[in-house]
Amino acid sequence: MTLFDITRNGDYHAADQLKNWHTLLQAINLQSIPTIQSYPKRFFRNIDGLGFGSKYSGHEEIWMFDFDIDDFDGNLTELKNTINLIPMITGLEETVTDLDHYTISHGDNQNIVFLLL
């Protein structure tokens, strides 16, 4: 899940949304070869308790997608470290007004969350 707009088929901001999606996917590819199970979907929901940093709360737009990694050992540390501080384009369809311009994978400003399912 992320607070960044990673829409694959947007309208007004389509090129920048797609750049965000490709940037995130390429970063994940540095640690693994993911198989995308579901492409990004946009939801407006209460993000409290979802794992985002304490800087963010209440109802916000989030983007979620699912992927599998073959031979995954269940440790997200390397993936989170690789994803941390990746530049992203903001000012698209996000509802968070003070979103940092890069991914943060841990701490009070965490704006991207990985869940093991």
Q: Are 44 and 95 in contact (CB under 8 A)?
A: yes
Q: Specify the DSSP element, H or E, that contains 78.
A: helix 77-83
Among residues of the chain, what percentage have pLDDT more than 70? 99
Per-residue pLDDT band at 53 (split at 50, 70, 90): very high
In the chain, where are the structural domains located?
A: 1-117
- 11-15, 26-30, 42-46: lowest mean pLDDT where? 11-15
Q: Are 42 and 7 in contact (CB under 8 A)?
A: yes
Q: How far is CA 47 from the centre of its chain?
A: 13
Q: Are 19 and 91 in contact (CB under 8 A)?
A: no
Kindly report the CA angle at 26 between 66 and 31, in degrees rounded to 5?
80
pLDDT in tens, 21-40: 999 999 999 888 899 999 99
Whole-prediction pTM value?
0.92
Predicted confidence (pLDDT) at residue 103 exceeds the cutoff of 90 = yes
Tell me how far apart the alpha carbons of residues 45 and 93 are, in angstroms, rounded to a whole number. 14
Residue 13 has a pLDDT of 84
